[in-house]
Amino acid sequence: MAQFMVAPRWVGIYRYDESPTLRRGQPSVSFDLQIQVDKCGQISGWIEDGKDGIPERAIVIGQISGNQICFQKTYRPLWVLGETGELVSVPEEGPHTIQYDGVLDSTGTRMAGTWRIEFRSSVHIDGIEYDIPEITGTWSAQPTRLKLFDGGS
């Protein structure tokens, strides 16, 4: 497998798979990803969701091996959908980890794959127990294109 440089900044989108526990038409969520990859393929960085995602920066750690990429996105608190569809932070139930697995194309200009939130049997919010199933989806990203200031007027 050929080695290539991995861009430090990416923009992407993730989508939810159909699920009986999610509201119909769960929106796709854009994200910004910034990573560093060391010479052994270890990934570290952060990710921020767009307006329909979790309103907090998450820590990213993972690995690139050949064209395979896997990383975990971790939030300090657990985030759940409230009864009316709003995101609710549950700090006492954190951390909240999402597993991403995917493939980086041979030119290093696109990566895509699947994600999943591991099954948690239940959480307690304000004294009420809620069952939380595994949630899955797909994702894709490409390097951020930077606009250079040309100094002109």
Q: Would you tell me how many other CB atoms lie within 10 Å of the CB of residue 58?
A: 23
Which tens digits make up the pLDDT trace of 33-87? 999 999 899 999 999 999 888 999 999 999 999 999 999 999 988 787 777 777 8
What is the token pair recorded at 37?
Answer: 């990859």
Are 103 and 112 spatial neighbours (Cβ–Cβ below 8 Å)?
yes
CATH number for the domain spanning 87: value is: 2.40.128.120
The answer to the question of residue 128 being in a domain is yes
Which tens digits make up the pLDDT trace of 100-117? 999 999 888 999 999 998
Which tens digits make up the pLDDT trace of 114-139? 999 876 667 777 777 766 777 899 99
The answer to the question of residue 152 being in a domain is no
- For residue 90, the enclosing domain spans 9-142
Rg of the chain (C-alpha set): 17
pLDDT class of 2 with cuts at 50, 70, 90: very low
Which tens digits make up the pLDDT trace of 7-32? 999 999 999 888 766 666 678 999 99
The answer to the question of residue 43 being in a domain is yes
- Domain count of the chain? 1
pTM assigned to the model: 0.83
- The pLDDT score that the predictor gives to residue 119 is 63
The answer to the question of residue 3 being in a domain is no
Place of tokens 């951390």: 95
The answer to the question of residue 87 being in a domain is yes
The answer to the question of residue 153 being in a domain is no
Alpha-carbon span 12 to 53, nearest angstrom: 12
The answer to the question of residue 150 being in a domain is no
The answer to the question of residue 149 being in a domain is no
